[in-house]
Amino acid sequence: MDTLYDVLIVGAGASGLLCGLECARAGKKTLILEKDPLPARKILVSGNGRCNLTNRFVSPDYYRADPALIESTLQHFSFEDCKHYFEDLGVLLTEEAQGRVFPAAGKATAVADALKAALKESGAQLLTGQEVIKIKHTKTDFILTTKQGPAFHTHKVVLACGSCAYPQVTGTNAGYELAKSLGHTIIPPLPVLSGLCLKETALTRLSGIKCQVRTTAKTNPVATAEGELIFTNYGINGPAALNVSQIVSRNLQNGPVSIEINFFPQLDNPQQFFRTRLEKFGSRKPKDFFAGLLHESITNLLIDFTGLRKQVPVREQNMQRALHTLTAWPVTVTAMRPWKEAMAAAGGVKTREINYNTFESLLCPGLYITGELLDVDGKSGGLNLHFAWASGFTAAQAIKEK
């Protein structure tokens, strides 16, 4: 334990790597400790292996967090800052629908490799296979002990351990435990950005079908999301499910959650649309009436679910329930999918216990906490990585100035 580091970062994920790079570039003697044999593993699996690293529309509206924290963080590291940062690292970027930004190479390795190369050039040290199990705060410094034996001495510590989501790829409770040992409060973590299990087993008939919908979760507050919905053998997945999952997961603590699925989000006036269709195709039987509008399996389920008579022309039946169901199909969420399918965690270190301008702990001076370890979770589309980079960057700026 003879070397005294200026800054020691626990975790070589998105936040830790960027923070370490910035500290080392500023001439700080920097060490990053990573428990895994390899760094950047979650970056590599992100965005289905393509890494959706930021989003043009990043704003406090897309996070479940204290808006003041996100506002302040975006002032330090905005969408444009993030784009330029990675372009400066040599990553060619491309923007897709809904402002989502990916490396143009089509692979997350482009982002991870660029970060690793810059880190090497910066002079930062990275030690893998070193799991920090204890942090002792002395009067002036910190002493970190790893499971593998060595102890490290440093002026400042950055906890960038990520969350417990996706345990098969580095997700761990270790960061919560370390933060707690230094006096921080942990908001119990919940899985988010994962599929939703439904009570209605009949919907498994739709397994594999994808459609564009609007979902409305009858939660407090009400949450809506628009985009692709994927029916599965347990319920629903895809952006239209993931982007209400943050609120659904929290509300599930009090029991099952109702969601309505609108299969025609593009219609301004669905009632008028269906009235016209009834006038035009009233002599058709239900299956032919819905032909051209819906996937056949959805039509069949709708007919069974709403009790339409298959052989009777629609104008001779009460269509009201069926047509209403198409824009507000009720389903009941009973559970989130397990942690190994969650792309993020709600909960984590209570953010009121850190300085929003520096990410320094208000309880333990010299300790910084960044990334998904904090009680911040964003919607899908590049928001979580943006926060990880931005918080790592902001902490590094503060460390440089000291």
Ligand X SMILES: Cc1cc2nc3c(=O)[nH]c(=O)nc-3n(C[C@H](O)[C@H](O)[C@H](O)COP(=O)(O)OP(=O)(O)OC[C@H]3O[C@@H](n4cnc5c(N)ncnc54)[C@H](O)[C@@H]3O)c2cc1C
User: Candidates 40-48, 83-91, 330-338, 354-362 — which segment interacts with ligand X by CB under 6 A?
Assistant: 40-48
Residues between 126 and 165 that touch ligand X (CB under 6 A) = 131-132, 160-162, 165
Pick the closer one to ligand X by CB: 225 or 322.
Answer: 225
Q: How far is Cα 85 from Cα 346, in angstroms, rounded to an integer? A: 27
Specify the length of the chain in residues.
402
Angle separating helix axes 383-401 and 79-88, nearest 10 degrees: 80
Closest contact distance (angstroms) between CB of 378 and ligand X is 7
CA torsion angle for 380, 385, 388, 392 (degrees, to 10)?
-160
User: Candidates 10-18, 206-214, 220-228, 258-266 — which segment interacts with ligand X by CB under 6 A?
Assistant: 10-18
Closest CA to 75 of 382, 353, 357: 357
Task: Please tell me the count of residues contacting ligand X according to CB under 6 A.
Answer: 39
**Binding residue for ligand X, selected from 251, 384, 395, 399, defined by CB under 6 A:** 384
Question: b/e for 142-171, b at 16 or more Cβ within 10 A?
Answer: bbbbbeeeeebbbbbbbbbbbbbbbeeebb
Burial of 257 (0-12, 13-18, 19+ CB in 10 A): buried
* Per CB under 6 A, 41 contacts ligand X: yes
* Per CB under 6 A, 379 contacts ligand X: no
Pick the closer one to ligand X by CB: 38 or 92.
Answer: 38
* Per CB under 6 A, 242 contacts ligand X: no
* Per CB under 6 A, 327 contacts ligand X: no
* Per CB under 6 A, 367 contacts ligand X: no
* Per CB under 6 A, 42 contacts ligand X: yes
Q: How far is Cα 274 from Cα 132, in angstroms, rounded to an integer? A: 62
x/- map, 171-200, ligand X, by CB under 6 A: -x-xx-------------------------
Report the 3 state secondary structure along 168-194. HHCCCCHHHHHHHHCCCCEEEEEEECC
Closest contact distance (angstroms) between CB of 291 and ligand X is 37
For the record, the structure tokens of 292 come out as: 């051209």
* Per CB under 6 A, 214 contacts ligand X: no
The residue whose Cβ lies closest to ligand X is 13
Per-residue DSSP letter, 205: G
Q: How far is Cα 132 from Cα 152, in angstroms, rounded to an integer? A: 10
* Per CB under 6 A, 343 contacts ligand X: yes
Burial of 225 (0-12, 13-18, 19+ CB in 10 A): buried
Pick the closer one to ligand X by CB: 179 or 206.
Answer: 179
* Per CB under 6 A, 345 contacts ligand X: no
Binding site for ligand X (CB under 6 A): 10-16, 33-36, 41-42, 45-47, 51-52, 131-132, 160-162, 165-166, 170, 172, 174-175, 343-344, 371-373, 382-385, 388
